[in-house]
Structure formats: structure tokens, C-alpha cells
Amino acid sequence: MPRRQLRKLLDELDLELDRVHQLDDPGREKLTALRDEIEEVLERTTPPSKEEEEGIFERLRDARDEFAVEHPQLTRLLNRIAQTLSNLGI
């Protein structure tokens, strides 16, 4: 169930990135790269290393903090993604 939920959240992130026009290119690239990294981890049959897990969560926190004021919907989505990753044990 959490994997399906995470995939749904990643799809929502894609939609939100398409919808938000005032997001600058570096911000959009940062979120797209993070989304791709999470997707890649989901596709694997082996769990991510502790370093990978920590890196993903650090980038999620950084993105959440960066977009909190100007893009609250993105921030809520990033929080939900982080929570779902945590529920998956990642």
C-alpha cells in the first residue's frame, strides 16, 4: 500500500510541477531530480543504503524549506512524500 501511495504522490508532484508556472528552472530541476531519484529507489529490488536514505531525506527537507513560503502546495506534497518514504522504512 505505501508504495502505491508513494507512486501516486510522485504523480501528483509531476502534475504540480506542470501547474506551477512561477517556479524557476533551478527549482524545477531540483524537484524533478529528487522525484527521479525516489522513483529509481522504488524500482530497485534491493533497499537503499543508509547514505542514500539520508541524502534523499536531506534533499526533501531542503526543498521543503526552500519552497515553503512561495509554494505551499509543493511543500505539503513533499511532506507527504517524506512521510510515505518513512512508512516504507526508507
| pLDDT, tens digit, 9 for 90 and up, residues 28-62 | 999 999 999 999 988 888 888 999 999 999 999 99
Distance from C-alpha of 50 to C-alpha of 72, rounded to nearest angstrom: 29
- Four-point Cα dihedral 18, 54, 69, 66, nearest 10: -80
Counted domains in the chain:
1
Q: What is the pLDDT of residue 1?
A: 55
Q: Report CA Rg, the chain.
A: 12
Distance from C-alpha of 9 to C-alpha of 81, rounded to nearest angstrom: 6
Q: Which residues of 40-51 are buried (b: 16+ CB within 10 A; e: fewer)?
A: ebeeeeeebeee
- pLDDT exceeds cutoff 90 at 81: yes
Contact 13, 35 (CB under 8 A): yes
Domain that holds residue 52: 2-87
Q: What is the pLDDT of residue 48?
A: 87
Instruction: Looking at 1-90, list the stretches that DSSP marks H as alpha helix, in order from N- to C-terminal side.
Output: 2-19, 25-43, 50-67, 72-87
